[in-house]
């Protein structure tokens, strides 16, 4: 008979040890609580609070609102609207949540998994940036563990393409990257704050923790909102100028166009445009426009040889020399001149011309004879005094200075061609500033892209005598009358003046005969100028490509739209002249 082994009884010491352990743990906890709350007093309470806070209290960053950009009348050009960015902790996202998360984000599950794989081992990954709050709420309502919200702001540009190149844009982190958004980024952005908050520790229906802010304990660092920026431009004028510039570029088949209008009295930029432009609210298209150069504000960044527009300054040098008056006569016969083997010619033989008529007919021969008589120094010095080849100090990012060469020795051909606008480069803004000085009795004003306060008086530098400036304005008035080169610049109801320019563009092998810049610099009204507008059309196509045929009509339409908006009264004499021309046309 087999013997059955009997189980050995559990030693009593093991039983008593387990019982003692079960009794000791609660006693230890109670003792610790008593020690903290009773024996240690305040230190105990502080310890418990710290432990509780570690589980429920958080320090939250509070984003600052970027300052608003407005035109001079308070019309918004750039504003910040609340948006929500969603981010995830890849380490805590669960496999079973990925399909529903991808669907809520309007992404494919495969694309989401690929991004998560790229962020493996990291604790932060953006799921979507700058969503409308309602759409972000659709994702947050899923209560997916590891998905979090981040409150931000998105920049919106109400003026769209009309002011895009001037105002500029911000990147996805709300940092200025172009235009005045970049130039005044520190002013606009402000500083984020810090806030201590209580986070809810409750669980949802699926047993997941819901990290919601249930109360604010206090502000650790106050938010410093960005400051607003009031620009000098008038959005109404900006629109008129953009419309006419766009029309001209399309109608002439040009590659681009630029225009700038200055307030003669203050030097403020009232309107500044380049075309083509871009829609700053369409983020997806910006890279395409960046490659095409549409984001560039050519008024500030593009330099060119200004051609005949600087003949006005050459005449100013002649008047200042004391050898000439505005009525002094220069013989341009037989319509051409040879300088150091280079033939310089007018379209036809103009014969004897006064200095005023040299400008009205834009005579190359007359300007060349003037340059040979004066020498290069007075002309160069006058160009330099008017700010050509120098930055205007506008503060616009990427503004170029151009070049006005300093030479010890000038060849005769260089001396002559400089006088009619070759051998130097300038921006359209520099030309506008120079003509504004003529309009303001010879006072060169600082250029401003910000609106001046009403109680601030701005002064410039007197660079030519008032009488010389007055003579130049009379000569510029003749350019748009009779047989002048810019009759298409005339503005019904207003007496205006200005100067045309047609400059050949440089190619790989020298100056091209088939590619030009068409320019016009205009003053309005001519008797008491309020505005100066410079128009540049780059490479117009067709038989008519000159400044008088292409750029002058753009000035006419801009001035006709802008002057009434500035409450400039009509000129009775100009109205009568316009009526007389109309009657003459009907009779013919």
CA terminus-to-terminus distance, the chain: 148
- The answer for residues whose C-beta is within 8 angstroms of residue 59's C-beta and 6 or more apart is 194, 195, 196, 197, 220
**pLDDT for position 404:** 96
Judge contact between 264 and 436, C-beta under 8 A: yes
DSSP string, 524-556: ESSSS--EEEEEEEES--SS--SIIIIIHHHHH
Residue 442 CA to chain centroid, in angstroms? 30
**pLDDT for position 7:** 52
**pLDDT for position 588:** 41
**pLDDT for position 1:** 47
Judge contact between 49 and 37, C-beta under 8 A: no
**pLDDT for position 587:** 44
**Tally of CA atoms within 13 A in the half-sphere of 534 that contains its CB:** 28
Residue ranges in the chain modelled with pLDDT below 70: 1-56, 60, 197, 199-216, 218, 572, 574-588
Pairing mode of beta strands 57-62, 193-199: antiparallel
What architecture is domain 61-93+101-110+123-230? Alpha-Beta Complex (3.90)
**pLDDT for position 382:** 98
Here the contacts of 202-210 (C-beta below 8 Å, separation 24 or greater) are 204/143, 206/143, 208/143, 208/144, 208/145, 209/145, 210/143
**pLDDT for position 247:** 98
**pLDDT for position 53:** 53
Q: What is the pLDDT of residues 213-225, one digit of tens each?
A: 556 676 777 889 9
**pLDDT for position 445:** 98
Report, as residue numbers or ranges, the catalytic residues: 308
Which sequence spans correspond to the domains of the chain? 61-93+101-110+123-230, 235-586
The CATH code for residues 235-586 is 3.40.710.10
Q: How many CB atoms lie within 10 A of CB 24?
A: 11
């Amino acid at each position: 008979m087999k013997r059955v082994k009997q189980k050995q009884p559990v030693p009593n010491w093991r039983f008593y040890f387990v019982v003692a352990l079960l009794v000791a743990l609660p006693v230890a906890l109670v003792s610790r609580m008593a020690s903290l709350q009773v024996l240690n007093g305040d230190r105990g309470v502080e310890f418990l609070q710290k432990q509780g806070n570690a589980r429920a209290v958080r320090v939250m960053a509070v984003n600052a609102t970027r300052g608003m950009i407005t035109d001079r009348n308070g019309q918004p050009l750039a504003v910040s609207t609340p948006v929500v960015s969603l981010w995830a902790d890849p380490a805590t996202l669960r496999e079973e949540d990925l399909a529903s998360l991808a669907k809520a984000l309007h992404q494919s599950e495969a694309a989401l998994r690929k991004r998560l794989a790229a962020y493996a081992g990291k604790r932060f990954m953006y799921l979507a940036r700058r969503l409308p709050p309602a759409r972000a709420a659709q994702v947050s309502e899923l209560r997916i563990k590891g998905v979090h919200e981040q409150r931000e702001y998105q920049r919106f540009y109400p003026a769209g393409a009309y002011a895009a190149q001037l105002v500029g844009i911000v990147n996805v982190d709300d940092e200025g990257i172009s235009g005045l958004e970049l130039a005044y980024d520190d002013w606009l952005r402000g500083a984020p704050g810090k806030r201590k908050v209580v986070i809810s520790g409750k669980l949802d229906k699926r047993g997941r923790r819901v990290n919601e802010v249930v109360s604010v304990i206090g502000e650790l660092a106050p938010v410093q909102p960005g400051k607003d920026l009031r620009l000098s431009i008038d959005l109404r004028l900006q629109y008129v100028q953009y419309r006419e510039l766009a029309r001209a570029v399309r109608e002439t088949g040009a590659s681009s166009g630029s225009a700038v209008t200055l307030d003669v009295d203050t030097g403020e930029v009232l309107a500044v445009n380049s075309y083509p432009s871009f829609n700053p609210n369409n983020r997806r298209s910006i890279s395409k426009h960046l490659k095409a150069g549409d984001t560039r504000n050519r008024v500030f960044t593009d330099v060119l040889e200004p051609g005949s527009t600087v003949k006005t300054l050459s005449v100013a040098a002649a008047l200042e020399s004391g050898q000439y008056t505005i009525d002094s006569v220069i013989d341009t016969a037989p319509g051409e001149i040879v300088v150091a083997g280079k033939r310089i010619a007018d379209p036809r033989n103009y014969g004897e011309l006064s200095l005023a008529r040299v400008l009205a007919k834009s005579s190359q021969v007359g300007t060349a004879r003037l340059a040979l008589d004066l020498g290069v120094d007075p002309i160069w010095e006058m160009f330099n005094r008017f700010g050509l080849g120098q930055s205007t100090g506008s503060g616009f990012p990427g503004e170029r200075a151009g070049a006005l060469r300093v030479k010890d020795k000038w060849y005769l051909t260089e001396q002559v061609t400089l006088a009619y606008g070759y051998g130097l480069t300038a921006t359209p803004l520099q030309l506008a500033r120079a003509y504004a000085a003529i309009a303001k009795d010879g006072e060169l004003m600082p250029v401003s892209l910000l609106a001046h306060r009403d109680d601030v008086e701005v002064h410039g530098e007197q660079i030519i005598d008032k009488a010389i400036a007055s003579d130049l304005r009379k000569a510029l008035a003749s350019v748009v009358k009779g047989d002048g080169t810019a009759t298409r610049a005339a503005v019904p109801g207003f007496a205006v003046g200005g100067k045309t320019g047609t400059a050949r563009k440089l190619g790989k092998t020298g100056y091209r005969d088939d590619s030009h810049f068409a320019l016009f610099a205009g003053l309005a009204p001519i008797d008491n100028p309020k505005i100066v507008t410079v128009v540049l059309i780059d490479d117009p196509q067709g038989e008519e490509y000159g400044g008088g045929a292409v750029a002058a009509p753009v000035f006419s339409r801009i001035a006709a739209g802008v002057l009434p908006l500035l409450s400039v009264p009509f000129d009775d004499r100009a109205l009568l002249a316009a009526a007389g021309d109309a009657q003459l046309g009907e009779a013919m």
